[in-house]
Each structure stands twice: as C-alpha cells, then as structure tokens.
Structure 1
Amino acid sequence: MAAMTGSDGGADADDAAATDDTAAVRVDGVSKRYEGRQTTQPLRDVSLAVERGEFVCLVGPSGCGKTTLLRLLAGLESPTDGTISVGGSRVTGPGVDRGMVFQEYNLFPWKTVEENVRFGLDRPVCDCADCAARVADLVELVGLGGFEDAYPKELSGGMKQRVAVARALAVDPEVLLMDEPFGSIDAQTRDRLQAELLDIWRETGKTVVFVTHEIEEAVTLADRVVVLGAGSDGVVGDFDVDISRPRERTDPEFAAAVEGVRARIE
C-alpha cells in the first residue's frame, strides 16, 4: 500500500468550473452546512479528484459526511461552499451522467425486474428495440436472467440490489455512486456481490465512488481508499491499494492495508 497522501487544496469556484482536466469527478473546497436550531457542518473544505475508470471507496467514522458527499456528487443536495464537477461540467443537480445506488433497494414493488431496470429509460416512455436490448443485456450482466418478470417481493435482498445496480447502469452514466449498497445484506451474499460488482466494473469501465463503513470491504474493492475525518476534518487519508485482485483477506498485504486505513480513522 502506498503512503498516505494529502488532499488537494481548494480552488476558486470560477477556476474550477472552467478547468479542463481528465478527472471524472472533481471536488474543490466543498463544505456543507445545515442551518437550524443547531447548525451542523458534516463537510468542511473537502477536495478530491477521481480519475476516469477508477474505483474509489470513501470511509470514515459515523457522521463524517460520507453519505452527504455522495449526495452532493449526485446533485441531490448543493454544497454550501465550493464546487463539484463531473466530466468537466459543474454539478448543479441530478443528471444522467451519474447513476446512484442506495443502501435501501428503492425498487417499485408494482414493477417487474425488467420494468424497474428500464425505469430510467422511460422518460418519455420508449419502446424501441435498442432500449429493450439494453435492458435485457443489463439483466444478464447482473445475473438475473430468467427473473425478468419477477416482482421485488419474489426476490432476495441480494437480487434486489442487483436490480438496483442494473437500473443505475441503464442510462449509461459516466459515474456510478454507491451508498453502502451491501450494508443490509448477510456476509455470504455480500462477499458474492462484491465479486460480481468488480466483474461489472471491469466489464463496463465505469468510474465508481463507493461509500462504506467496512474497512475490509473498501480494501477488497477499491483502487483507492479515501478517509474522511470526524468533526468536519475533511480528507485525512488517501491510500492507493496496490494489491492484485482478487484480494484474499488472509494475505499479509491485505491486513497491512486494513490497519493503515484503520489507523487514520482512529
């Protein structure tokens, strides 16, 4: 594992919007405050770049702003300060260049697997052969061939999350954002889904930003593990995981990588 590197410095908003670089995702000096009876600030002056095709995991203690940052990347919320860009364009709201997979499956119970996957393509309703073929390919990609007509109530938790991944990929986003997608799934199924996700990532070449509270999961999956600190400390660790895949948790290199990340969190 490479030594920890410092986070990038914040950038002027106008300069960030005009920057032409190769990063798939760029976060420049981003802060997020929630005003109310008590003001909270889960993120302060966070800067981060994710390269095209890179798999990055965000880890950190509870309340460090991991999910908040992912929601900002998705355009579901807006930063209080700083800028976020995807593919060189500033994020001002949700867009088809980003696909989001939540911890909860968020499937439509009245729609079949096929209908759930093609939901993002049906704006407006599209019955073209290309859409039908794409949906069929994605259902096969996530290992649900033969379940096209099944409803969510007929699926296991792991199968539901596969549908959610396929739905996020349906619009062919540049970046796949994943918020603890395997957090509520049993350990055996989670291990299988991690391996399947890596296969999908390799096949599609997508850029992935993945939030998890499990350090072992982050080291299993990621090219890089980015650690957010508690108390709005921002990025406190940035680790390259230079271990060949598939990664074995009994490997001394794996254990050393986990301990290196854990040391930054603790």
Structure 2
Amino acid sequence: MAGMSQQPTDGKIVVDGIDKQFRSGSGTVEALRDVNFAVEEGEFVCIIGSSGAGKTTLFRIIAGLEEATDGTVWLDGEPIEGPGTDRGMVFQEYGLFPWRTVLKNVTFGLEQRGLDKQARLERAREMIELVGLDGFEDSYPKELSGGMKQRVGIARALAVDPEILLMDEPFGSVDAQTKQRLHEELLDIWSATNKTVLFVTHDVDEAVTLADRVVVLTGSPGSVHEVVEIDLDRPRSRTDDAFAGYEQRLRDAIE
C-alpha cells in the first residue's frame, strides 16, 4: 500500500488519500478517489452515501480486508496492512457459527488468541451480559431473532477488547422497532466501553441518531463531500426540529 512515511494529522484513525480501483474484463473501475478524514479516540463516526459511493469498499480497506490502490489508513500512527485484533468487526450478515451456542460463538475470537478456558468463559459471559443476552448462553443461532443474532455479533467483536469497533450496516436486516432498540443498546455499550466506533449506513435517520460526526461520501468514484458534526444531546428525539434539520442537510449532501 502506497502512502506517506508518517501519519499526516492527529486522530485515532486517519484515512489519508485513499484511492481504490478494481480491474475487470471490461477495464478499470474507480471506486474511491482521494478520501481523507480522521476519527478521534472514543468518537462515534458514521459514513453515509448513495449506492455506489464506495462505503463498503472503504470499510473493507479500514478493516484490512481490502488493499487500497493508493493512500494509507493509519491507526495510532501505524499503517493498517491487514486485519488485526485491534479492530472488531460487525457485518449486516450475522456471520455466526450455526453449530455453536451463543457462548461458544462469543468465545471464538478468544480461542484464536489462546486464552485459557476459564478466562474465555468469564470474558464471554461478561460481554453477553453487556449486550443483554443473559440466559441465552446455551441457545443456538437458529433459536434467536435477527436483533438477538446481531447482539451476539457485537458481543463477539467486543470480547477480544478491540480498540476500534467497525460496523458495516449492522442493523440493515432488522425491522424498524428492533433497529430503534438496538440503537439505544449500542449507544449504551459505546458509553460503557469508550470504544471508537466507525459505522457505515445508508440510513440518514440512523446516522443522526448515533453519530458525533457523519462523513458523507458522494459520487462515483466516491469522495468525501462533507463531514457534518451532529451537535445534539443524547438521547436524541426524531421529532425535534433540529434532528429533522440534520436529516435534511445530510440528504441534500448525498444528492
């Protein structure tokens, strides 16, 4: 990955001049062009944009699952060059192992890190309690609702104590009522853990509900059109005029 020799600006995560091109039989497709922004430690930042603006591609580059064509993503001053336990990931597809119980799904990452059994179980139970799934430790994914599955995914991501929580449209598959409840729970978890959260969504309402700041990607190739600070106290009410004003500002920016 090309890039500068040192992180160019302060921030927990610094996205520095990211370009991404894909080569196919019909030629080269440019997905991202010169994307730049920073995320401070403990901040909750949402990335939004229209379809084709490169949100998920950018997420995968920050996660270390995809390599940028040019530019660098920095984490604490070090370039990201692949996946790492410093980043916990939650996807729209739950990604749970159907043959493992809730408890065993949450201990999976801890097993990969070589923790002893007692330490794994204690940490997993702590995370299961944090996401409100006490009593479901021995349940299998097929026995859970969509919202419960996603909470297992969050518990699994948090179990390894990552510095960053990366979330790619994690609530896109649940109904509106469940989504609202998950928003409240996620903000409680964020407050309790002080994690830095980077959250990709196409839902403007969701971004205004959750974020300290919103990065708006537009165009094809995608680039940063605007970074909007959401200056509203939490919890936020969707019926407030100020909330509606931010929604409209973000919609106008996307369009």
Task: Tell me which interval the TM-score lies in, with the shorter structure as reference length.
Answer: over 0.9
After superposition, residues 97-136 of structure 1 pair within 5 angstroms as 97-123=86-112, 125-136=114-125
* Normalised TM-score (structure 2): 0.96
Change (3 A) 1:45 1:124: closer
How far the C-alpha of 1:131 sits from its partner, in A, is 2.3
For the pair 1:219 / 2:208, whether they are aligned, the reply is: yes
How far the C-alpha of 1:123 sits from its partner, in A, is 1.5
For the pair 1:23 / 2:11, whether they are aligned, the reply is: yes
Change (3 A) 1:152 1:237: same
Amino acid of the structure 2 residue aligned with 1:199: D
Given candidates 174, 195, 198, the residue that maps to 1:209 is 198
**Structure 1 contact 21–88 (Cα < 8 Å) conserved:** no
**Structure 2 contact 39–45 (Cα < 8 Å) conserved:** yes
Secondary structure at the residue paired with 2:25? coil
For the pair 1:14 / 2:14, whether they are aligned, the reply is: no
For the pair 1:230 / 2:213, whether they are aligned, the reply is: no
Secondary structure at the residue paired with 2:88? strand
Q: Which residue matches 1:45?
A: 34
Secondary structure at the residue paired with 2:66? coil
Secondary structure at the residue paired with 2:171? coil
How far the C-alpha of 1:71 sits from its partner, in A, is 0.4
Q: Which residue matches 1:36?
A: 24
Partners of 2:4 and 2:102 in 1: how far apart?
43
* Normalised TM-score (structure 1): 0.92
Amino acid of the structure 1 residue aligned with 2:214: V
- The more displaced of 130-139 and 235-244 is 130-139
**Structure 2 contact 208–247 (Cα < 8 Å) conserved:** yes
How far the C-alpha of 1:88 sits from its partner, in A, is 1.6
Q: Which residue matches 1:161?
A: 150
How far the C-alpha of 1:124 sits from its partner, in A, is 5.2
Given candidates 230, 239, 255, the residue that maps to 1:250 is 239
For the pair 1:58 / 2:67, whether they are aligned, the reply is: no
For the pair 1:175 / 2:167, whether they are aligned, the reply is: no
Q: Which residue matches 2:229?
A: 240
Secondary structure at the residue paired with 1:122? helix
How far the C-alpha of 1:133 sits from its partner, in A, is 1.3
How far the C-alpha of 1:231 sits from its partner, in A, is 1.3
Partners of 2:103 and 2:146 in 1: how far apart?
17
Secondary structure at the residue paired with 2:32? strand
How far the C-alpha of 1:21 sits from its partner, in A, is 5.9
What stretches of structure 2 of length at least 5 have no aligned partner?
none
Given candidates 102, 126, 139, the residue that maps to 2:128 is 139
Partners of 1:122 and 1:128 in 2: how far apart?
8
Partners of 2:113 and 2:173 in 1: how far apart?
33
**Structure 1 contact 117–167 (Cα < 8 Å) conserved:** yes
For the pair 1:76 / 2:93, whether they are aligned, the reply is: no
Partners of 1:261 and 1:190 in 2: how far apart?
20
Partners of 2:99 and 2:253 in 1: how far apart?
45
Secondary structure at the residue paired with 2:71? strand
Secondary structure at the residue paired with 2:21? strand
Partners of 1:175 and 1:22 in 2: how far apart?
16
| RMSD (Å) for aligned C-alpha atoms | 1.3
Partners of 2:4 and 2:206 in 1: how far apart?
37
How far the C-alpha of 1:233 sits from its partner, in A, is 4.3
How far the C-alpha of 1:216 sits from its partner, in A, is 0.4
Secondary structure at the residue paired with 1:14? coil
How far the C-alpha of 1:125 sits from its partner, in A, is 4.8
Percent of matched pairs sharing the same residue: 57
- Number of equivalenced pairs: 253
Amino acid of the structure 1 residue aligned with 2:24: G
Deviations 1:37-91 (A, max 9, x none): 2321111110110000000000010010000000001000100000011122111
Q: Which residue matches 1:8?
A: none
Deviations 1:138-176 (A, max 9, x none): 000000000001000010000000000011111111110
Partners of 2:77 and 2:237 in 1: how far apart?
36
